[in-house]
């Protein structure tokens, strides 16, 4: 194991072996997960859901920055399985990303062990099963990465910390939903909104009056933006997918699919009672409500509080303004001792600019979605494996253009785009459709520097936030608008860029970013790690009998 003398106290030298410095290793954390179907009735109808160790939602994965996570996953479903760690950056290790093109699946009845760490990360994320539309059946859970003890947090430790997983939900099982999509149709309106796997009024959070709690809210649903709010209480936003933000009170918060937020809520109401927690669909009519109970834990609890429920805003502009108001706290330290503001992204020169435009198309009456005119199709052999083993004919770098091309003929490909290692790049997500998009990039956190209506053009750069834009891994793009992000491609690997709307991703709205260090004079520390010892082969890689990783 290599270590850097990064000036942090965590690295303790233990020995010097043949000129190589060996550090005390970070602690190991072992998890053993059995993934299986159980029946549950979140919306009053018994259905087959995916549980982990018989829990639906799955257990919270609580870890600490840089711990070595060893997660043994047993697949007891009747389908192949992979679990992806949405927002965990997997430094130089896309082998553990658990998406279709980085790993061969864990076959039914078999097991596979993930090995990774949340390197230099803190904060709130979530995991979910990435194949076969299984997320519609559950299998998701919250990820909580605690800072190391030497790093102080920018707020007083809360009395307790609760995961709040919100999402749209269908009463139909995921295999039926998948067939509907494969037959070229869309799913239509969901049947309800779940909070921690439970239907309206079922989940309950017990709190003590006067105390402050941290809620880690993740939208684990399929398609819908949800507006989150609590009757009689304000939400102090403190963290966004691993960034500490300038602490701001909101009465309601829009959480787009795939996004995670931490809020602090102080139990400051003078009447000890039960208050409603609401998550309701945004930008669609009629709205669907999910709810849970905030229970003041006192002997004098008066039961449900009367009065109006808080309402969600009903315009789009206020959502955009809320997004712009979420800023990085430059002086707070997150996973490392140096403050978040010490990386001056705004002063770096853009080496390359990408524009990814989504579009919808009906081909032979079947719905498809595209990025820059290309609809993604899964390859028989994962792209990552084909790349490593140099298998011909699986994918082509450049099979998707880096800008939308007018009047291009729509095509299908296992799209891969290249990124130069260490290049500082701008990615513009252009949304010419009249529905909201939610975009995610694996392997990175990016700075969300701007959002605006209409078509992006280079003049829009004048409006970018080059000082304290928030760094995160999933961003929304409002209808007929654009969102610009910036990032340094310092993480070699093959990284999925996808629509977090699972219907759109399933029908083609995704691509892969290939970041390789081609500088042969650079040493091994600047390259992606070799494949893990337990690498699974599939597709045309199975024909290479002599291969031994």
Ligand X SMILES: *[C@@H]1O[C@H](CO)[C@@H](O)[C@H](O)[C@H]1NC(C)=O
Q: Which residues bind ligand X (CB under 6 A)?
A: 154, 206, 208, 246-247, 278, 280, 286-287, 289, 297, 309, 311, 329, 331-332, 519, 521-522
> In angstroms, what is the minimal distance from the CB of 383 to ligand X?
25
Residue 419's nearest CA partner among 461, 342, 374, 356 is 356
Residue 378's nearest CA partner among 475, 259, 498 is 498
Q: Which residue is nearest to ligand X (CB)?
A: 154
**Of residues 25 and 522, the one with the C-beta less far from ligand X:** 522
Relative to beta strand 123-129, strand 141-146 is: antiparallel
Greatest alpha-carbon pair distance for the chain in Å reads 73
**Of residues 247 and 540, the one with the C-beta less far from ligand X:** 247
In angstroms, rounded to a whole number, what is the distance separating the alpha carbons of residues 117 and 398?
Answer: 31
422, burial (CB in 10 Å: exposed 0-12, middle 13-18, buried 19+)? middle
**Of residues 39 and 331, the one with the C-beta less far from ligand X:** 331
Residues 478, 484, 487, 493, Cα dihedral to 10°: 60
> In angstroms, what is the minimal distance from the CB of 374 to ligand X?
30
> In angstroms, what is the minimal distance from the CB of 521 to ligand X?
4
**Of residues 6 and 109, the one with the C-beta less far from ligand X:** 6
> In angstroms, what is the minimal distance from the CB of 345 to ligand X?
18
Residue 88 CA from chain centroid, whole number: 8
Name the β-bridge partners of 162. 215
> In angstroms, what is the minimal distance from the CB of 526 to ligand X?
7
**Of residues 350 and 524, the one with the C-beta less far from ligand X:** 524
Return all residues near 312 (Cβ < 8 A) that are at least 6 apart: 227, 229, 252, 278, 280, 282, 287
**Of residues 7 and 286, the one with the C-beta less far from ligand X:** 286
Residue 503's nearest CA partner among 367, 325, 302, 392 is 367
**Of residues 213 and 444, the one with the C-beta less far from ligand X:** 213
Name the β-bridge partners of 274. 295, 304
> In angstroms, what is the minimal distance from the CB of 316 to ligand X?
18
> In angstroms, what is the minimal distance from the CB of 125 to ligand X?
21
In angstroms, rounded to a whole number, what is the distance separating the alpha carbons of residues 427 and 425?
Answer: 7
Residue 429, helix vs strand vs coil: strand
**Of residues 92 and 368, the one with the C-beta less far from ligand X:** 92
> In angstroms, what is the minimal distance from the CB of 421 to ligand X?
8
- What would the two tokens of residue 483 be? 């969102």
Please list the helix, strand and coil fractions of the chain in percent, rounded to the nearest 5, in that order: 10, 40, 50
């Amino acid at each position: 194991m290599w270590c850097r003398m990064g000036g942090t106290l965590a690295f303790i030298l233990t020995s010097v072996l043949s000129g190589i410095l060996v550090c005390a290793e970070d602690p190991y954390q072992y998890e053993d997960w059995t993934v299986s179907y159980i029946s549950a009735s979140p919306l009053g109808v018994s259905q087959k859901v995916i549980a982990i160790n018989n829990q639906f939602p799955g257990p919270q994965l609580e870890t600490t920055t840089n711990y070595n996570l060893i997660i043994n996953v047993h697949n007891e479903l009747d389908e192949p399985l992979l679990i992806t760690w949405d927002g965990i950056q997997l430094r130089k290790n896309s082998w553990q990303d658990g998406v279709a093109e980085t790993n061969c699946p864990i076959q039914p009845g078999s097991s596979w062990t993930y090995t990774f760490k949340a390197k230099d990360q803190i904060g709130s994320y979530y995991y979910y099963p990435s194949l076969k539309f299984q997320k519609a059946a559950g299998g998701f859970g919250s990820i909580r990465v605690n800072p190391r003890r030497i790093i102080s947090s920018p707020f007083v430790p809360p009395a307790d910390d609760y995961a709040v997983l919100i999402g749209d939900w269908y009463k139909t099982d995921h295999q039926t939903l998948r067939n509907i999509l494969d037959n070229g149709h869309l799913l239509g309106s969901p049947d309800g909104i779940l909070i921690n796997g439970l239907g309206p009024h079922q989940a309950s959070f017990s709190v003590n009056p006067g105390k402050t709690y941290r809620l880690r809210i993740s939208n684990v649903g399929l398609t819908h933006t949800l507006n989150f709010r609590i009757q009689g209480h304000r939400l102090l936003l403190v963290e966004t997918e691993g960034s500490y933000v300038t602490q701001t009170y909101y009465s309601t918060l829009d959480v787009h699919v795939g996004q995670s937020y931490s809020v602090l809520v102080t139990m400051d109401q003078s009447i000890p009672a039960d208050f409603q927690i609401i998550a309701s669909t945004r930008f669609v009519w009629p709205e669907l409500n999910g709810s849970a109970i905030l229970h003041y834990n006192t002997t004098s609890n008066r039961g449900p509080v009367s009065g109006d429920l808080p309402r969600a805003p009903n315009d789009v502009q206020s959502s955009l303004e809320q997004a712009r108001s979420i800023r990085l706290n430059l002086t707070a330290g997150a996973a490392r001792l140096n403050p978040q503001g010490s990386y001056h992204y705004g002063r770096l020169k853009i080496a390359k600019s990408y524009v990814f435009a989504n579009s919808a198309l009906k081909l032979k009456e079947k719905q498809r979605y595209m990025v820059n005119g290309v609809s993604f199709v899964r390859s028989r052999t994962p792209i990552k494996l084909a790349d490593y083993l140099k298998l011909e004919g699986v994918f082509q770098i450049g099979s998707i253009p880096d800008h939308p091309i007018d009047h291009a003929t729509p095509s299908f490909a296992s799209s891969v785009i290249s990124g130069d290692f260490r290049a500082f790049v701008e990615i513009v997500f252009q949304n010419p459709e009249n529905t909201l998009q939610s975009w995610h990039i694996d392997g990175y956190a990016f700075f969300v520097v701007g959002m605006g209506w209409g078509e992006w053009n280079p003049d829009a750069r004048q409006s970018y936030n080059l000082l304290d834009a928030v760094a995160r891994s999933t961003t929304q793009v409002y209808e007929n608008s654009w969102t610009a992000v910036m990032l340094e491609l310092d993480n070699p690997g093959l990284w999925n860029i996808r629509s977090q709307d699972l219907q759109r991703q399933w029908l083609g709205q995704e691509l892969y970013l290939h970041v390789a260090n081609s500088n042969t004079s650079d040493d091994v520390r600047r390259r992606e790690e070799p494949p893990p010892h337990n690498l699974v082969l599939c597709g045309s890689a199975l024909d290479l009998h002599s291969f031994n990783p």
